Structure 1
Amino acid sequence: MLRIPFLLRLASLGLLLPPFFTQAQQTYSWENLPVIDQPRFRADTFLVTSYGAKGDGLTLNTKAINQAITECSQKGGGVVVIPAGLWMSGPIILKSNVNLHLKKAATLLFSPDKSQYALVEGFYEGKAAARNQSPISGTDLENVALTGQGIVDGNGDVWRAVHQRQLTDTQWKEKVASGGVLSDDQKTWYPSIAFKMASKQNKSMLLTPDKSLAEFADMKDFLRPNLVVLLRCKKVLLEGLTFQNSPAWCLHPLLCQHLTLRKLTVKNPEYAHNGDGMDIESCKNFLVEDCSLDVGDDAICIKSGKDEEGRKRGVPTENGIIRNNVVYNGHGGFVVGSEMSGGARYLFVSNCTFMGTDKGLRFKSVRGRGGVVEHIYARNIFMKDIAQEAIFFDMYYFVKFATDSPRDERPVVNEGTPVFRNMVFENVVCQGAKKGVFVRGLPEMPIQQVRMKNLVLETERGVELIDTRGISLEQVELVTATSEPLVFIENSQQLTFNSVEYAGKMPILFSVNGERSQDIRVQKTDFQTNQTVFANGAKASALK
């Protein structure tokens, strides 16, 4: 007889769902999208100048701004207004029922004096960690907003290291002249000797029961804060503002509900290490719309915790709408992972444009993460000049292989096995990329049931499917610039290619590899038997 804990473990993997363990979960569709509640505020206005703040770029306004926010909240809430000016400040702590509003031409610039930011218990990639206090933060709040037409600048360049190869000669000379220290090979700039030593020694920032915050004092300069962190908040609105130059991640809502990010501009330099735009982690019911991002790492990123801690938290990011956004520079336009151990589901991405990102739709994980990512829907996605892949799945994130030979390791499926399944991508156009579609699952857990329909991909190479099951490409036009196989398949099953068009004469359309490749169906596609090759144990009967 099975023990209850084992059933629970299987259920968490989505491998067994007995009725007595399931929770009622609202299912959504394009016709029935999640509803996101909006915050409401009293009209009462609190001017920061009434509390002694000065927008002269010199005065430190930390006390005045926080005092205005606190008094506004204590009196029932309202709008705290920062007028036009250059407002220098240390950390700002938001309060319930307060809308912090920056007028046009108002710049909230955070102090480069790192002593203003206390060491606090925070999070790094889903795990408890020592961090410097975020320039803007809020915990356990309800009805809170950051709005306006102003700019929030995190002064991130004083916090981040940078490599010489990432800058022009002039930029590098200016960086070296600004202070800081260089690496031993003179090719990396560090903000301080403490930062350099922590980096060289690969010191951990993770908190453990036997280590207090005070013990991280010698590496404080290394513990870069995220610009905006909102923890366990409900009814949150960020609208209209420009957020830029963050020390690490820019916007990080964690365990929030009913979150709206609207008409934001999010900017970080291309060289900004960990310079993500939006990292939405373990949040429920959220909307990201009409935003523009140009960042140094992933742009719009979905996360839900990392490894065992993330699985123990067990809070998926779910019920999200991402629409009408433009992404310029970034490692990915819309991204899930790699910290997704709590899972992600019911995400609707539409009418988004990616211009020059490294990858377009990006899904990443690795053995040990666990978590179930499912019910992801994307349509009307338009891409141009993508540096790598337009549509990308990889369950070997940051794994290096000793050889290029096919992998056939198949460990036992357990709570650390990531599961990606049940997704639909429709109406995707890409002009310019290294590869149109790349999907690589695990031998023990293929990426499953992904339907791609109405794609036009003008790329150097076509499609590569490794360790997948139930993938379908329907009404797809592949315009490639290589004589290599249009579609490469390795150890994949139950694949469907329906109405695939291609440009020019392709000597090889399908390269089928691996003895586990089978049940591959090609319909309404112009190709001959001699345009298919079978290798590495694949049988000719695998393709029909």
Structure 2
Amino acid sequence: MTGSPGYQSLQFLLLLLSCIGSGKFWHTCMGGHSVTDDDHFATNEVLNPMSPMDLHKSIFGKGKSKDRCAHTVNAWEGRPHSVSITDFGAVGDGKTLNTHAFENAIFYLRSYAANGGAQLYIPVGLWLTGSITLISHLTLFLENGATILGSEDFFDYPVIPGLPSYGRGRELPGPRFSSLINGNGLEDVIITGDNATIDGQGAVWWSAFRKKTLNYTRGHMLELIESKNILISNLTFKNSPFWTIHPVYCKNVVVKSLTILNPFDAPNTDGIDPDSSQHVCIEDCYISVGDDAISIKSGWDQFGTSFAMPSKHIKVQRILAFSRSSAGISFGSEMSGGISDVKVDGMVVTGARWGVRIKTAVGRGGYVRGISVKNIVLHSIRTAIAVMGNYGEHPDENWNRTAYPLIEDIRMKNIVGENINQAGLFLGLQESPFRDIHLANIALQVNTTKQIWNCSDVAGSYIFVFPQPCVEFTRKT
């Protein structure tokens, strides 16, 4: 009897319920480590005395090697040739513009691409630069104490075409600014360091965006297009102009051991956004941002459906996430190429508008299916789980009014939350109801007795969920 799945689920639910209660939550569920320090949450500054990654390790531990997915990208042992950016006249004073030094260094290193590649070494200093375009078979390595600073002059970022799966810039029609670090059609690229920093100095971009003085969509901090075998690790990215890490049309990507710090009020500064990409692993990251910590995407409306490149085979694990305006992890709303086979295992989300969110709309088409989300801890979240079909922003007036998204086979389990305003919001579409949504082993301490769950045009099942969900969910026995 004690080995039956039902009994084990009941035991797990009792454990979750024991987490909920004033003064006990973090000590019971998080080993006594609080990630809700008031000063941090008010200022979005690094917690003291722990660094972000020290805090991450204190919560998640080091993890077992078999649980890590860094093996999905080759463990390069080093490049046969290395040069320093100073070899090309760069000056690390934070004032001298070094764009040409980066261009010359990368041009020089092209000759080594066919012989195992090369490394561009960034020593201690403040290295101001405009847009940097990478090449294949390259390691960009930043020494401890090195900081790449993004130029605050918009003219240092060339204007490039919008992505074909978006049909335009994401914010404005027409082209867009290039990203601080970018590449197209690359393979075998490593962007790493010894806990060094890449600072986008995004405040000028956020101000221009708010004032509506930009002629083009903002660039990202790091964007790689149609590239494969990518490793991004052991760095701090901060003050991104727009989305921070954006692999789009990519395959075989590992993003690990990153700290991402964007102010809570910095608009649309997502953390990591895999977009129409496959075989992506995101693990062991600390993300504190002004939008979604992680958002999985695949193109926008008719442009995404015609481009037809899904995001799939994605793993997200051991993530510590902070946000005020958006979600710990989201799917969409740009999901017109389809999203499937995504496994999320182990997140702590604090202060967010949404804990886990799927967002779509009429006109998107596409699908979100085969999603597994488990082992999630939520603290001070307005809505714990949201699956919504009313996110209605479109690229132009030619969007298809009968392109209904398909949302199905969504499984969420082992979720515990404290100080939650609303347990769940499931707003499907009458023309395309959301189906096969399964909830299990969920315990949420909700602050209200009004509209704890809000559901329409949705069907699914639940087992051991507290508070009990809407009537649209059938209890499993």
Class of the TM-score when normalised by the shorter of the 2 chains? 0.7 to 0.9
Distance 2:185 2:360 in 1: 30
2:475 to 490, 493, 497: 497
- 1:337–1:34 Cα change, 3 Å: farther
Aligned equivalents of 2:146 and 2:80: distance in 1? 20
Which of the residues 117, 132, 150 maps onto 2:157? 117
Which residue does 2:366 correspond to in 1?
371
User: Structure 1 pair 124/328, CA: closer, same or farther in 2 (3 Å)?
Assistant: farther
Unaligned residue ranges in structure 1 (runs of 5+)? 1-29, 163-187, 197-218, 400-412, 479-485, 499-522, 524-544
Q: Deviations over 1:63-107 (max 9, x none)?
A: 112222232232131221101111111111111000101111111
CA contact (8 A) 1:230 1:254 kept: yes
Q: Which has the larger radius of gyration?
A: 1
Equivalent position amino acid for 1:131 in 2: R
Q: Distance in 1 between matches of 2:146 and 2:164?
A: 31
Q: 1:136 to 1:34 in 2, by over 3 A?
A: closer
Match of 1:336 in 2: 331
1:471-510 equivalences under 5 Å are 471-478=460-467, 487-489=469-471, 492=472, 495-498=473-476
Task: Find the residue that maps to 2:237 and give its secondary structure.
Answer: strand
User: In the alignment, what sits opposite 2:43?
Assistant: none
Of residues 154, 159, 173 in structure 1, which corresponds to 2:200?
A: 154
Distance in 1 between residues matched to 2:210 and 2:352, nearest whole Å: 26
Conserved 8 A contact 2:362-2:401: no
SS, match of residue 104 in structure 2: helix
Query: 2: CA distance between counterparts of 1:301 and 1:437?
Result: 19
Change (3 A) 1:465 1:153: same
Q: CA deviation at 1:229?
A: 1.1
Residues 269 and 295 of structure 1 are in contact (CA less than 8 Å); yes or no, is this contact kept in structure 2?
Answer: yes
Identify which range, 334-343 or 50-59, moves more after superposition.
Answer: 50-59
Confirm or deny: 8 A CA contact 2:271 2:294 kept in the other structure. yes
Structure 1 pair 189–280 and aligned structure 2 pair: CA distance change class (3 A):
closer
Specify the SS of the correspondent of 2:243.
Answer: coil
Match of 2:45 in 1: none
Is 1:86 paired with 2:126?
yes
Matched, 1:64 2:51: no
1:245-302 superposed Cα distances (whole Å, 9 cap, x missing partner) = 1111111110000011000111111111111111110000000000111111111000
Query: Which amino acid in the other structure matches residue 88 of structure 2?
Result: Y
Instruction: State the alpha-carbon separation in 2 of the partners of residues 189 and 266 from structure 1.
Output: 22
Q: In the alignment, what sits opposite 1:306?
A: 300
Aligned 1:86-485 pairs, distance under 5 A: 86-123=126-163, 126-129=166-169, 130-148=175-193, 149-161=195-207, 190=211, 195-196=212-213, 220=215, 222-330=216-324, 331-386=326-381, 388-398=382-392, 416-461=403-448, 462-469=452-459, 471-478=460-467
**Per the alignment, in what secondary structure is the counterpart of residue 108 of structure 2?**
helix
Q: Is the 8 A contact 2:81 2:112 kept in 1?
A: no
**1:230 positional shift:** 0.6
Give aligned-pair identity as a percent: 32
In structure 2, what residue type is equivalent to 1:145?
I
CA distance in 2, matches of 1:96, 1:415: 42
Q: Deviations over 1:371-395 (max 9, x none)?
A: 0110000111111111x21111010
Query: Counterpart of 1:70 in 2: which secondary structure?
Result: helix
Paired AA for residue 327 in structure 2: G
Q: Which amino acid aligns with 2:205?
A: W
TM-score normalised to structure 1 length = 0.68
The one-character-per-residue Cα deviations of 1:301-328 (angstroms, maximum 9, x if unpaired) are: 0000011110001111000000001101
Q: Call closer, same or farther: CA 1:189–1:323 in 2, change over 3 Å.
A: closer
Which residue is equivalent to 2:61? none
CA shift, 1:434, in A, is 1.2
* TM-score where L is the length of structure 2: 0.78
- Alignment deviations for residues 219-244 of structure 1 (CA, whole Å, 9 cap, x no partner): 54x53211111100000111011111
Counterpart CA distance in 1 for 2:297 and 2:144 is 32
C-alpha contact (below 8 Å) 1:39/1:144 kept by paired residues: no
Say which SS state the counterpart of residue 354 (structure 2) adopts.
Answer: coil
Deviations 1:466-500 (A, max 9, x none): 1112x11101232xxxxxxx6444xx4xx3125xx
> Matched residue of 1:325: which SS?
strand
Match of 1:481 in 2: none
CA distance in 2, matches of 1:124, 1:223: 15
Residues 117-142 of structure 1: CA deviation (Å, up to 9, x unaligned) = 22211339833331122111100000
- 1:269 and 1:125 mapped to 2: Cα distance? 29
In the alignment, is residue 38 of structure 1 matched against residue 90 of structure 2? no
Is the Cα–Cα contact under 8 Å of residues 232 and 256 in structure 2 kept in the other structure? Answer: yes
Q: Which residue of 1 aligns with 2:59?
A: none
Task: Tell me the distance in 1 between the aligned counterparts of 2:374 and 2:127.
Answer: 41
Contact 2:70 2:254 in 1 (8 A): no
The 8 Å contact of residues 73 and 231 in structure 2, kept in 1 or not, is answered as no
Bigger drift between 99-108 and 454-463 goes to 454-463
CA contact 2:383–2:422 (8 Å) conserved in 1 = yes
Q: Distance in 1 between matches of 2:299 and 2:470?
A: 33
Equivalent residue letter for 1:418 = P
The one-letter code matched in structure 2 to 1:36 is T
User: Contact 2:375/2:415 (CA < 8 Å) preserved in 1?
Assistant: yes
Letter in 2 for 1:323: Q
Residue 343 of structure 1 contacts residue 372 of structure 1 at CA under 8 Å; is this kept in 2?
yes
Q: 2 CA distance for matches of 1:488 and 1:124? A: 40
Pairs aligned (count): 392
